[in-house]
Structure 1
Amino acid sequence: MAASQGETRDRVLRTASELFQRQGYHGTGLNQVLAESHAPKGSLYFHFPAGKEQLAAESVALSGAELGEALMAAASTAPDGRTGVAALGEYFAQSLLESDFSKGCPVATVALETSAASDSLRTACDQAYDGWQRGIATALRGWGVPDDASDPLAALVLSSLQGVVMLARVQRDVTVIQTITRQLGDLIELATAPATGTTPAPL
């Protein structure tokens, strides 16, 4: 029975994560979650007694952790920052193309609708973003970005990717992702370039 209950909970959670990513928080109803997860009617409040808000918070945590792992896997084999940030952009581009632009960022869709109204959902989204940013900062240091520059540059990379994924989804065109990751690659190369030690000539 315990295994069956665990499977039901996981199925409900993953179905909700998919629906929130496609439809947003307010566009997803609990009846739809139950129907598409083929879960018994009483199972949702059994597993998520705080209801939709708890379900969404746990969905964000799950999606955030899994996407963070996928992004780091995409970047882990990159020999340098330009290749690495291109791999991050390509991951999002493929997700958009494979879903016919119906799936954006699983955290952003919830954050945009709920962060001002729900502290628990704001916290869940903040923790997901924080995990991604720390992972990107670690990757940047591995690509040679100095420690004192890695955190602010990671924030720039993350915020740029979040914005460009939304733009690509609206435009139904992923080329803008490639444009932005090329620009980010330029910035990473500047951050990793050794100081020349030369003094500018006087005017």
Structure 2
Amino acid sequence: MLELIQARGYSGTGLATVTEHAQAPKGSLYFHFPEGKEALGLKAIELAADRFRSLIADSAMESERPSEVIGRVIDVLAGLLTDSDFQLGCPVSVMTLEMGAQSERLRDACANAFDSWITPVAEYLTALGRTPDAARTLATAVVSMVEGAVIVSRAQRSVEPLRCAARTLTGLLEAEAA
């Protein structure tokens, strides 16, 4: 479901397509997700949130400077886009745009997913000496810029918007650290 949402969107992903893609009987879908498509969407958002949160945490642990963290994250996202011929993007942003006004449960799940990415960035920035409020503000801007860059990269079929975001964020984060 996650990959299908990334490529086709939530509305463009029917349950028959999910079972076909998963090569699973339709009955197993309803067994594991008795609440239907919305429950499956919630699980997909949770999975996407966990994966990106892990990417952020791993990058922060393996890097000494903010520019290295940003570089690692952007490299992974650029690889995802190019490897999929710009067909896959962030399922959380897709879900937010499509369903945020229609399903409070899905909107809340998306808000929680974004928060799960903002929080470790804010913690990293706090560890570097920023106040918690300043770190949270900057972390929100970082996640927002990266998300926007993914969308623009898909539209332009180029990773250059991601690279521009990385350069801008690196300049901002390194200047603030100095």
What fraction of aligned residue pairs are identical, expressed as a percent? 38
Structure 1 residue 182: Cα displacement: 1.1
Give aligned pairs, total. Answer: 178
Rounded Cα–Cα distance in structure 2 between residues aligned with 1:29 and 1:157: 33
Say which one has the larger Rg. 1
User: Could you list the runs of 5+ residues in structure 2 that have no partner in the other structure?
Assistant: none
Rounded Cα–Cα distance in structure 2 between residues aligned with 1:174 and 1:137: 25
Does 2:8 match 1:50?
A: no
User: Could you list the runs of 5+ residues in structure 1 that have no partner in the other structure?
Assistant: 1-15, 194-203
Are the aligned partners of 1:149 and 1:191 in contact in 2 as well (CA < 8 Å)? no
Aligned residue among 119, 132, 136 for 1:151: 136
Matches within 5 A, 1:143-182: 143-182=128-167
Q: Which residue number corresponds to residue 128 of structure 1?
A: 113
Are the aligned partners of 2:81 and 2:87 in contact in 1 as well (CA < 8 Å)? yes
Q: Which residue number corresponds to residue 34 of structure 1?
A: 19
Rounded Cα–Cα distance in structure 2 between residues aligned with 1:38 and 1:55: 16
What residue identity is the alignment partner of 1:92?
L
Q: Which residue number corresponds to residue 85 of structure 1?
A: 70
Q: Which residue number corresponds to residue 70 of structure 1?
A: 55
Are the aligned partners of 1:75 and 1:87 in contact in 2 as well (CA < 8 Å)? no
What residue identity is the alignment partner of 2:114?
Y
Structure 1 residue 44: Cα displacement: 1.5
After TM superposition, the score normalised by the length of structure 2 is 0.94
Rounded Cα–Cα distance in structure 1 between residues aligned with 2:71 and 2:14: 36
Q: Which residue number corresponds to residue 97 of structure 1?
A: 82
Rounded Cα–Cα distance in structure 2 between residues aligned with 1:92 and 1:145: 26
Aligned Cα root-mean-square deviation (Å): 1.3
More helix by share: 2
Aligned residue among 15, 21, 30 for 2:6: 21
Per-residue CA deviations over 1:122-156 (Å, capped at 9, x if unaligned) read 01111111100001112222344343311000000
After TM superposition, the score normalised by the length of structure 1 is 0.83
Structure 1 residue 175: Cα displacement: 1.7
